[in-house]
Amino acid sequence: MAFPASVALALIVPAAAPATLAEVGVIPATTPATVPSCPASPCLAVSRTTGFQVKVATATNPLSAPRSGTIVAWTITLGKPTASQVKFFDANEGGESEAGIAILQPLPKPNLTYKLIASSPVVKLTPYFGKTAQFPLETTLKVKKGDVIALTVPSWAPALALGFTNATSWRASRPKSQCSSTSTQTTHTLIGTAVQYYCLYLTARLTYSATVISTP
């Protein structure tokens, strides 16, 4: 069927669902303020493990991806340890401060088991002490709704805020017998493996987040 040249035809195409940008791990202001402990005393750091926040007051699973999407960057707020504190951690916790992120899939059994789906390269953190630094990912990471975005620290990172109540907690990939020790390397780094995150630490918060672009 032919139409006169004067008749304009319009092709109606359904609009694509908009992508949304979310910062996973960011919650409203806390009391006390979420400030890394160093250089105060005690100056505590995350050491030789992979961990994620379980709860901050009434906020539960703040590092769980709200939708499927792509992680394009991660952010960490670091304390500014003194020269003597840096020397101590470098000597006792595996060398220069560094960290990256990991994507964990919760598994139904055994309890507290997570499968490592993907991870970012680790970044040297020393130049960013005392600052909040964001690291764009050259290779983005896919994430599914419900996956957990964890912080992997092969050595140490001054990224631990203290002084909260027992309603605030984070969990680490250490075996049950090593919850009070940092002498063993317990980072979860082998893609496809499952690890039980036995150890729960109360009254502290990990100071990192991740930027996720998600689509419905």
Closest CA to 154 of 200, 207, 209, 97: 97
Q: What sections of 27-98 are H helices per DSSP? A: 83-92
Q: Is the pLDDT of residue 121 over 70?
A: yes
Q: Please, what is the Cα angle at 112 between 179 and 69, to 5 degrees? A: 115
22 confidence band (pLDDT: 50, 70, 90): confident
111 confidence band (pLDDT: 50, 70, 90): very high
Q: Is the pLDDT of residue 61 over 80?
A: yes
Q: What is the pLDDT of residues 32-60, one digit of tens each?
A: 889 999 999 999 999 999 999 999 998 99
pLDDT of residue 29: 83
Closest CA to 86 of 94, 96, 77, 78: 96
Asked if 97 contacts 155 with a C-beta cutoff of 8 angstroms, the reply is yes
pLDDT of residue 99: 98
Decide if 195 is inside a domain.
yes
Decide if 207 is inside a domain.
yes
Decide if 23 is inside a domain.
no
Q: What is the DSSP letter of 81?
A: -
How many separate domains does the chain show? 1
CB atoms within 10 A of CB 182: 20
20 confidence band (pLDDT: 50, 70, 90): confident
Q: Which percentage of the chain shows pLDDT scores above 70?
A: 91
Decide if 158 is inside a domain.
yes
Decide if 26 is inside a domain.
no
Average pLDDT over residues 92-110: 96
Decide if 24 is inside a domain.
no
216 confidence band (pLDDT: 50, 70, 90): low
Decide if 142 is inside a domain.
yes
Its domain, for residue 151, covers 32-175+185-214
Decide if 133 is inside a domain.
yes
Q: What is the pLDDT of residues 145-173, one digit of tens each?
A: 999 999 999 999 999 999 999 999 999 99
Q: Please state the pTM of the whole predicted model.
A: 0.89
Average pLDDT over residues 88-108: 97
Q: Which residues contact 125 (CB under 8 A, 6 or more apart)?
A: 76, 78, 97, 98, 99, 133, 157, 158
